[in-house]
Structure 1
Amino acid sequence: MAGDSVISPQRSKDFGKHEHGCDHYKRRCKILAPCCNKIFPCRHCHNETSNSLSNPKDHHDLVRQDVKQVICSICNTQQEVTQVCSHCGVNMGEYFCDICKFYDDDITKGQFHCNDCGICRVGGRDKFFHCEKCGSCYTVDLRDNHFCVENSMKSYCPICFEYLFDSVKSTRIMKCGHTMHMECFSQMTMQNHYRCPICCKAVLDMSAFWEDLDMDVSILCNDCNSTSTVQFHVLGLKCRQCNSYNTRRITAPANH
């Protein structure tokens, strides 16, 4: 194993906690990626780097379970995957999963490993359940309260095309059962798009909007100057006197 040229003293397990890591995780180790034999702070850093290479043939993702070697950020010792550094004795991650080869010093995230998903999740084990049909963990308020779509999370966000199953971003389950990132969902609805990009079903309760469209409105005809009451139509409002569509609405629905 590679390490400092002099023997480092044994340190407390909390030494250097929250002082090392990257934008994705606070941790006291780096990983040696077996796919390209390069050192990265975490698998996300690896994936961002490898997938930004100029040659598309070089693009690849790191399989987290394949990591065999890590490098302690405190004493620079390379060693097999383990929680406590074999050389200086620090916890290389306050949270550690030997299956996912995952380290994180910020345990306020409530990390837990889901055996059915096969990966670590965040948010607290008691706040999530695993839906067998959807193939993923959901918050307990969705138990028996969502429309199941087989392996719905093992797909790509229909907006940004990032793989949802192991994404670090929060997700939204729509009424139809399809999923997308919460941030992408918010951006979509802010732009007045309310249909699922996959199946075109409404993603929100649109009943109030449909009621507005069913209401009669008063219009003024720009051609004959008469007023009339007609049923709202998204394409145009027809004057009852001269049949012109050159009109404008002069009253809004009563519930506006």
Structure 2
Amino acid sequence: SGQERGQRGCEHYDRGCLLKVTPSMDSSLTSFRRAPCCDKLYTCRLCHDNNEDHQLDRFKVKEVQCINCEKIQHAQQTCEECSTLFGEYYCDICHLFDKDKKQYHCENCGI
């Protein structure tokens, strides 16, 4: 996954959660993208893409796992169980969690 329990982030991002990658329900995708191997946890889409033979669509991420208490929950800025901050900056559109304000990715969210 690119991250051990309690460790913040990976080589790409400083964050307090793992992205839960679930098989897609989109019938327009090939069965390859719906493979069971996608039911994994990764620190970020880049860690996922470096370890899999397909790419993660970060816009479809719906759940994350807290690195502190390991609760799986809806993607959000803080953990609903232990209040761990997943990222000082969070975009609910493309699910970017990070500590670095220099990130720029969405025209509409202003981050």
Query: Cα 1:41–1:78, aligned 2, differ >3 Å: closer, same or farther?
Result: same
User: In the superposition, relative to structure 1, how do residues 104 and 77 fare at CA in structure 2: closer, same or farther (>3 Å)?
Assistant: same
State the partner residue of 1:31: 19
Match of 1:181 in 2: none
The runs of at least 4 aligned residues of structure 1 exceeding 2 Å deviation read none
Distance 2:19 2:56 in 1: 11
Specify whether residues 69 and 110 from structure 1 end up closer, same or farther in structure 2 by C-alpha distance, changes over 3 A only: closer
Paired letter, 2:46: H
Unaligned runs of 5+ in 2: 1-5, 24-37
Aligned to 1:113: 106
- For residues 9-88 of structure 1, what are the structure 2 equivalents within 5 Å? 20-35=8-23, 36-50=38-52, 59-88=53-82
Cα deviation for residue 74 of structure 1 reads 1.6
> AA paired with 2:75?
V
> Where does structure 1 lack aligned partners over 5 or more consecutive residues?
1-15, 51-58, 126-256
State the Cα RMSD in Å: 2.2
Task: Count residues in correspondence.
Answer: 92
SS of equivalent to 2:97:
strand
Give the structure 1 partner of residue 28 of structure 2: none
Distance 1:34 1:114, change over 3 A: same
Check if 1:102 corresponds to 2:102: no
Shift of residue 106, structure 1, vs aligned partner:
2.1
User: What is the TM-score normalised by the length of structure 1?
Assistant: 0.33
Q: Deviations over 1:209-246 (max 9, x none)?
A: xxxxxxxxxxxxxxxxxxxxxxxxxxxxxxxxxxxxxx
